Amino acid sequence: MSLQWVPVRSSDRPYSAAPKGKVDEDEAPAKKKHEIAGRGLIDLVFSWTIEDIRNNHLYKGQVNEIPDRFNLTKDYLKSFVLPLIEETHADLLSSLTSVSGAPSFEIRSINISKHHEYPKNLAYELVLGMRCFEDNKAIYEPEPGDLIALTDVMPKCIADLDRPNSPYLIAYVTGVDRYNPNHLSILSSRPIMIEENTQKNMKANRFVVFLTNMTTNIRIWRALNSHPEGKNMSLIKKVLQMHPPDAETTCLCEETHGADLYDLRTVIKSFSLNDSQEAAVLSCMGTSKCYHQNTVKLVWGPPGTGKTKTVGLLLYALLRMKCRTVTCAPTNTAVLQVTSRLMSFLTASAEYGTYGLGDIVLFGNRKRMQMDDHDDLLDIFLDYRAEMLFQCLCQWNGTLRSIIEFLEDPMRQYHLYLQSNKRSNSKEDRCQENDHKIEDRVMSSNQEKEEKNYGQNFGGKNTKKVWRKLVDQALKENKTNVKQVASRKGKHLKHKKKEALDDTSQEEQDAEDEDTLTLTLIEFVKKSFDSISQRLKFCIVNLFTHLPTLYISLDEVKKMRQAFDLLLLLDTSLNGLHKKFSKSEDQHRVHDSIKWSSRRKDCLQILKSLPQSFLVPDFKDTNEVKYFCLDSACLLFCTSSGSSKLHVAGEFDLLVIDEAAQLKECESTIPLQLPGLRHAILVGDELQLPAMVKSKISEKAGFGRSLFERLVCLGQKKHLLNIQYRMHPSISSFPNKEFYNKQILDAPTVKDSSYAKRFLHRNMYGSYSFINIACGKEQLDIVHSRKNMVEVAVVCEIVANLFKEFTRKKEKFSVGVISPYKAQVYAIEEKLGKKYARGAETDFSVRVRSIDGFQGDEEDLIIISTVRCNGNGSVGFLSNLQRTNVALTRARHCLWILGNEATLLNSHSVWEKVINDAKKRRCFYNADEDKSLAQAMTIALIELRQFDILINMDSLLFKNTRWKVCFSNGFWESVATIKNTEILRQLLTLLEKLSSGWRLMPNKKTCCYVLDSSSAFLEIYPVNDLLNLLWTVDIIEENSHYIQVLKVWNILPLPEVPKLAEHLDSLFENYAVDKINCCKERCLERSLVVPIRWPVNFGSATQSTGCEADSAQSLSKTFASLRITDESGASASTSKKKLKGKKKIR
């Protein structure tokens, strides 16, 4: 099966409708009939061989550093071209390197397109079959702009893409069928040999493998290669090189238009902005009124300073000023955030509900923007608006005329209905016909979308509540009608009463034939009115919501609102009539009939005053509606890449780029060239992370630098927002001092005592702390990213403890876990599993992301896992100041940093300052101070088989315990085979209790093998139902003393114990009698057994008449800190005095 090929259209042609049934790259009109946008870059990519792509130095020596200043526009644009090519090359290499995990499809068929032109336009049509699912492969949905590989095998490595019988072949997706997304139009890098006899078996031996999407790079390419004479270069020329501040001309336009802006300034001041925010908004408002020069303003918004609120209020003001503005950002997330903030201001101040939203348009890829999760933005989303307007504009005139005719003479409509029924030969057909008529009318109103439209606020505070209530009631009635239709199909309609002339009883009606399905007059009026009025109400709300104010006046909206209210009143009257007729209450029927008649006249009067049509073009499809909306909107929101679609949407006055410091300068050239633009406002913070660049060559050339950063470097003045509202002062202290030269003030709200939260007990869990993990283990994964499983264990233990505390207190809070390395993020996510919710709508949520992925976000509590743990102080890109700044400024109430003190101190980076600052402020802690963290770290080390760390005398297991514990190699070998974490916890609990001096009563021991020799004192303690811990007391010499220690031999099932006992018997035969006697000595301190020590020169240890607790030289506290359960007798405090009154036990 082949598809009609529709080319990707250039955005250089004036407004015209997009072709039906095909989604192309930009959905913008083409310059020529079959021109493919960005063909120069596509052909260049097609020209690369596999060897070229694998050559990391293909463009080395050709890519020059991007200058700070430029003399000519062409030099400016040209400086980005080679870095862009190199970045595209690096992106493709990265994709090919990981091709084994790339999503893929089977190919069902390949056909030559009717637009195929050899050798330059190798166009084909593909029909894809089943997705090729494997555990490591993502779900792939083809999109225009995708670069794909065509192969006859599922590739496991790059070499599989270029084999002797199947050379390297890639293609560019130029179109995807709107209704059949598996049908693709492609441009191939080489001719595809298609043989008739292979078409049937195509599914078995051809695959499409997704490599990358080139849409953004192609849009940048087109912006860089545009012809200056056909583009708006005013702002580009303005940023070539900045003039010193004293050379700038003073703008008098703000003073000239001061009176015009006075009322609006008063409104802005009512939103409780601080001085710096208010000054920024008012300054930008004044700039918008300047017509004699072009300007570029910088607004500097450090973390938490209310940047989004400031931008939202500026846009609110620009909307009121009717200043045509494009607002864009590097990512969909950033676009949605600023749009949501504007909508919150509009909702709070709306006088006429959703009227005026037609002047605002948000557009982009619905799936990537996850619009289904943003109901509050659906009314301004372009795709949804186009559907609503197209439907309502088509229905409006007919629906309005129908309800007017019906209300003018309902009796005539009823007679026509009766005549229609009489002409019907089949009673069943009549029933179905009635059903379909009502169903069509009701369902055509598209209730789900109507509900979302009706659900908006309408008018002032009290009026909005009433309006919402009325709309909800209309929706319920609509749903009721749908249910009635479904019910009618399943069974006969049972009437409680008939018309006055019909005196048949209910029982007789049920027995009668289906002629009784004919509606009574009141039933017909009610059902017909319901179906038509629902459709009209749907149109009313959608039209005044989605039409730009240029095409629907406020007077018309007021009349439409009045009509909506009267329709609801009429419906109420009809309901009353229906009830009264069924009860035969003649008096009330007369009263309600009069009320119905009066309201019907009022409704007819207002309905006849409504416009019969609107002065909009005669749209043929929703694509034409989209272009109309873009051309008519006052505020438009999109990504900077997506702004390429606006080159055919008329002229604009102002450009606002949010998160401008994260946007590559070459990408900002797309919106900067929009027609008519006079001014640009860049909002961002160059001290946070810039755009990501994959190519080291391009990165070195400055390809990731933003226009915001370059202008700052040139000395461009920037307006600072200087009060932060996010972080507790203990969190903001270090970033403010280190990155912002103490220019940022803490807002009164964050300094208030109520802002300080304590989510866990212990001092280390305060508002700010560094938690040292001394025994971490840094690892590389298969893609050379780093992880530290000991830190993973600590993170998960902290989260588990937080959740326990949450279940106890039931106080809502959110947790963010961030790390510089993706491997660490994946490891934490895997260990956490799906136990904790990820969404903000839950009371306890946990989000795990990389530092780069968390930029712009915030949570109540942030846990940073720094990962690095090595002997040379190497921390890699963790030393990046911008990345560190982002990591340290995401938390609202608490920030806990996990890391290895030694590594970070030796890094000689900003992290050395972080450690020293934490120590100076007494916010530095060791993880093993928390017993549960120490346990988690120990288990992690066991799982990693890091026994050398565990048996080290200064390690977790051997610090501060009453008894020194020695382990045999056999014990560690057995422990390494235990995969169950719970069993490991039980084992550690038992060891912790033994090291503290706790012992089982003799009658509770599992067993004791009493042999004829020295193994008679082998102890066997149960760990669980299957495993047992085998240990003895032994003697070692240390610091001129003999000291009792615990010797742990193994952990075994009971059947294997005799074999070990025999081995120990032969081992202990070599012990002297005095040593054996020393091993058998026992000394009690209350209920605990404590180790005994004897001076080496004291003589025979067995002759000692007293015992001395091993306190100074023995291990003392760590097993106490490793305690997992609170069983009685599990621990005791360390005593550093000689034991008195102790009882000797033989």
pLDDT tens sequence across 1068-1079: 888 888 888 888
Q: Kindly state the average pLDDT of the residues 418-436.
A: 58
Burial 123-160 (b: 16+ CB within 10 A, else e): bbbbbbbeebeeeebeebebbbbbbbbbbeebbeebeb
Q: What is the full DSSP assignment across 1033-1078?
A: EEEEEETTEEEEEEEEEEEE-GGGHHHHHHHHHHHHTTS-HHHHHH
- Pairwise CA distance, residues 854 & 888, whole Å: 11
CA 714 to chain CA mean position, Å:
35
Pairing between strand 778-780 and 786-788? antiparallel
Q: Fill in the amino acid letter for 816.
A: G
Averaging pLDDT over each range in 160-174, 201-215, 511-525, which range is the top one?
Answer: 160-174
The most confident of the ranges 151-165, 657-671, 778-792 is 657-671
Residue 244 lies in a domain: no
**Boundary residue ending a domain (685, 702, 722):** 722
Give the range with max mean pLDDT: 25-34, 42-51, 124-133, 178-187: 42-51
Any idea which residue has 């000991």 for tokens? 790
pLDDT confidence band for 320 (50 / 70 / 90): very high
Average pLDDT over residues 275-296: 92
Q: Where residue 744 sits, what CATH number does that domain have? A: 3.40.50.300
Indicate if 167 and 207 belong to the same structural domain. yes
Top-confidence residue, 1121 or 577: 577
Q: What number is the average pLDDT over the span 657-682?
A: 96
**846 domain residue, yes or no:** yes
Instruction: Give the residue-averaged pLDDT of 922-932.
Output: 93
Ranked by mean pLDDT, the top range of 546-560, 777-791, 1095-1109, 1121-1135 is 546-560
Least reliable range by pLDDT among 410-424, 936-950, 1131-1145: 1131-1145
CA gap 615, 390 in Å, rounded = 14
Strands (E), 50-97: none
In this structure, what is the dihedral angle of CA atoms 257, 263, 265, 267, given to the nearest 10 degrees? -160
* Helices then strands, each counted (H, E), the chain: 40, 33
- The values of phi and psi at residue 613, to 5°, are -160, 175
Percent of the residues in the chain that have a pLDDT greater than 90, as a whole number: 51
pLDDT tens readout for residues 877-903: 899 999 999 999 999 999 999 999 999
Per-residue pLDDT of 302-316, as tens digits, reads 999 999 999 999 999
Task: Give the C-alpha distances (Å, rounded to integers) separating 607 from 3, 537, 544, 616, 1037.
Answer: 47, 12, 15, 20, 104
Please give the residue that has the higher pLDDT: either 1093 or 728: 728
CA–chain centroid gap for 328, Å, is 19
Residue 767 has pLDDT above 90, yes or no: yes
Q: Are residues 417 and 337 in the same domain?
A: no
Asked, for residue 16, whether it belongs to a domain, the answer is no
Q: How confident is the model at residue 573 (pLDDT cuts 50, 70, 90)?
A: confident
Does 426 fall in a domain?
Answer: yes
Query: 369 and 391 share a domain?
Result: no
Compute the mean pLDDT over every residue in the chain, rounded to the nearest whole number.
81
Q: Has residue 241 been placed in a domain?
A: no
What's the pLDDT band for 120 if we cut at 50, 70, 90? confident
pLDDT value at residue 12: 34
pLDDT, mean of residues 733-744 = 97
Of residues 384 and 165, more confidence is placed in: 384
Contact 1132, 1085 (CB under 8 A): yes
- The pLDDT confidence band at residue 196, using thresholds 50, 70 and 90, is low
Rounded average pLDDT over 131-141: 64
Per-residue pLDDT at 227:
74
Q: Which pLDDT does position 73 carry in this prediction?
A: 93
pLDDT > 90? residue 686: yes
Do 522 and 639 fall within a single domain? no
Contact 394, 386 (CB under 8 A): no
Q: Are the CB atoms for 885 and 852 separated by under 8 Å? A: no
Of the pLDDT bands very low, low, confident and very high (cuts 50, 70, 90), residue 577 is low
Q: Which two tokens stand for residue 339?
A: 């749009």
Report the candidate in 25, 123, 42 with the shortest Cα–Cα distance to residue 85: 42
- Rounded Cα–Cα distance for residues 1104 and 1102 (Å): 5
**SS3 call for 463:** helix
- Output the pLDDT for position 254: 54
- Residue 858: the pLDDT is 94
The confidence score (pLDDT) of residue 490 equals: 39
Give residue 106's identity as a one-letter amino acid code. E
In this predicted model, which residue has the larger pLDDT, 1002 or 93?
Answer: 93
**Whole-Å CA distances, 728 to 180, 708, 888, 1002:** 52, 28, 12, 56
Residue 2 lies in a domain: no
The fraction of the chain above a pLDDT of 70, given in percent, is 77
- The verdict on 742 and 702 lying in the same domain is no
Give the whole-angstrom CA distance, residue 1031 versus residue 1126: 23
Omega within 30 of 0 (cis) for the link into 119: yes
pLDDT higher at 473 or 1038: 1038
pLDDT, position 713: 94
Nearest to 519 by CA among 527, 531, 507, 511: 527
Output the CA angle 938-943-947, nearest 5 degrees.
65
651 class by beta-carbon count within 10 Å (0-12 exposed, 13-18 middle, 19+ buried):
exposed
Write out pLDDT tens, residues 1059-1069.
Answer: 888 888 888 88
Q: In the numeric block, which tokens belong to residue 1056?
A: 């294997």
279 and 424 part of one domain: no
Q: Are 205 and 75 within one domain?
A: yes
Residues 814-844 have pLDDT tens digits of: 999 999 999 999 999 999 988 887 766 688 9
Q: Is the pTM of this model over 0.85?
A: no
Judgement on whether residues 444 and 527 belong to the same structural domain of the protein? yes
State residue 1015's pLDDT score.
58
Q: Is 941 part of any domain?
A: no
Residue 1135's domain is classified under what CATH number?
3.30.2310.20
Rounded Cα distance, 925 and 798, in Å: 14
Q: Which of 554, 587, 609 is the C-terminal boundary of a domain?
A: 609
Highest average pLDDT, of 9-23, 103-117, 630-644, comes from: 630-644
**Distance, CA of 846 to CA of 816 (rounded, Å):** 6
Q: Are residues 347 and 373 in the same domain?
A: yes
> Are 218 and 266 part of one and the same domain?
no
| pLDDT bucket at 743, cuts 50 / 70 / 90 | very high
pLDDT grade for 261, boundaries at 50, 70 and 90: confident
Answer yes or no: is pLDDT of 911 > 90.
Answer: yes
pLDDT at site 599: 81
CA proximity to 1074, closest of 1090, 1098, 1091 = 1098
Domain annotation covers residue 510:
no
The number of distinct structural domains making up the chain is 5
Residues 31 and 134 in one domain: yes
Q: If you average pLDDT over residues 200-212, what whole number do you get?
A: 73
Band the pLDDT of 595: cuts 50, 70, 90. Answer: low
**What range defines the domain where residue 324 resides?**
253-380+623-722
pLDDT classification of 645: cutoffs 50, 70, 90 = very high
Highest mean pLDDT among 296-305, 969-978, 1090-1099: 296-305
Contact 987, 1033 (CB under 8 A): no
pLDDT over threshold 70, residue 138 = no
d(CA 1034, CA 1110): 14
The pLDDT score that the predictor gives to residue 172 is 97
Q: Do 893 and 829 fall within a single domain?
A: yes
How large is the average pLDDT for residues 1048-1066? Answer: 90
Mean pLDDT value across residues 503-509: 43
72 or 1115, greater pLDDT: 72
Number of other residues whose CB lies within 10 A of the CB of residue 248 = 12
In this prediction, residue 515 has a pLDDT band, given cuts at 50, 70 and 90, of very low
